[in-house]
Structure 1
Amino acid sequence: MDELTHFNDQNRAKMVDVTDKKITSRFAVATGKIKMHPETLNRIHEGKIKKGDVLAVAQIAGIMAAKQTSSLIPMCHLIPLTGVDIHFEDDNDTTITVTTKVKTKHVTGVEIEAILAAQTALLTIYDMCKAIDRGMLITDVHLVEKDGGKSGHFTY
């Protein structure tokens, strides 16, 4: 197992120094699910949620979250993103799956940006539908794939 890199010689938190790392193309894909009552999903499909177009708002929220990751997660570097894409699929019954893909050409990866985008899109769906379904369940949020940099390719 690799050594933890976010601690200095006094065992205190530090932001990892990436000064000498090579710029490479990098991407990360993350996913997660939100489970709800069938009627809630029907109302999303029919555009009958009072707060508006649930998936359109969730998509923008996810993109915004990816762009703000370093402001929310203390040890994340500010990374210039070259692309953020978010897709939604559902099972026409109770579950919406969100998949995010984040890209950069930089010295460090975008895994946290992809996971945060997925989680934020799911939280936005919850927020927009909570008036009719407080029992929604967000599950299975995780990194699916990443590539680029020294650690290379990873697939869940």
Structure 2
Amino acid sequence: MSDSPKLTHLNAAGQPAMVDVGAKVPTRRVARARSRVVLGAEIVALVREGDLPTRKGPVFQTAILAGIMGAKRTSELIPLCHPLGLDDCQVRVDLDGPDAVVIECTATVTGKTGVEMEALTGASVAALTIYDMCKALSHNIVIQETRLLEKTGGKQDFHHVG
């Protein structure tokens, strides 16, 4: 039973607590996450003609900036995340088939804790930004499968298979 996984954000009394990373050695940590946004064939057709310009700006460029900003502010959004000074954050938006886009966010830090939440937040905020900017064209947009693809540099590496 002692080797079974345990929730790390609970103290001995079962109350929410930040994980103490004080004794950990800083390492280079990288995490990559993805969100998929189903826009519909009509909106993707407009995107194929060029980055959809809107009154709020070009959709993909704005989503990339929003994703980076979201990753940088993860600790302000997720209560028990440590504030991290990211070494790097890259967000990409690519077409995925006839009706969707895929967003990938890669976050990098040299530190005592991982950057999975930053990568996931970056991908999620970019997806939400695409929804916000395209909702005037359709409310049938679906954000789906936000997931961690890989993480390296911590106690245990992870690589999504599939």
TM (normalized to structure 1)?
0.94
Deviation at 1:52, TM superposition (A): 2.2
RMSD over aligned Cα atoms: 1.3
The answer (yes or no) to whether the contact 2:53–2:59 under 8 Å persists in 1 is no
- Counterpart of 2:146, as a letter, is V
- Which of 61, 75, 89 is the matching residue for 2:80? 75
Q: Which deviates more from structure 2 when the two are superposed, residues 4-13 or residues 72-81?
A: 4-13
Equivalent residues in 2 for 1:55-134, closer than 5 Å: 55-91=60-96, 93-134=98-139
| CA distance in structure 2 between the partners assigned to 1:38 and 1:131 by the alignment | 15
Q: Which residue of 1 aligns with 2:22?
A: 19
Q: Normalising by structure 2, what TM-score?
A: 0.91
Aligned residues: 155
Deviates more, 1:55-64 or 1:4-13: 4-13
Q: State the identity as a percent.
A: 37
- Contact 1:44/1:53 (<8 A) preserved: no
Corresponding residue to 1:52 among 39, 49, 57 = 57
- Partner of residue 158, structure 2: 154
SS in 2 for 1:26: strand
Secondary structure of 2:57's counterpart equals coil
Point out where structure 1 has 5 or more consecutive residues left out of the alignment: none
- Is the 8 Å Cα contact of residues 33 and 138 (structure 1) preserved in structure 2? yes
2:148 pairs with one of 129, 143, 146: 143
* Unaligned segments of structure 2, at least 5 residues: none
In 1, the alpha carbon distance for the partners of 2:33 and 2:96 equals 19
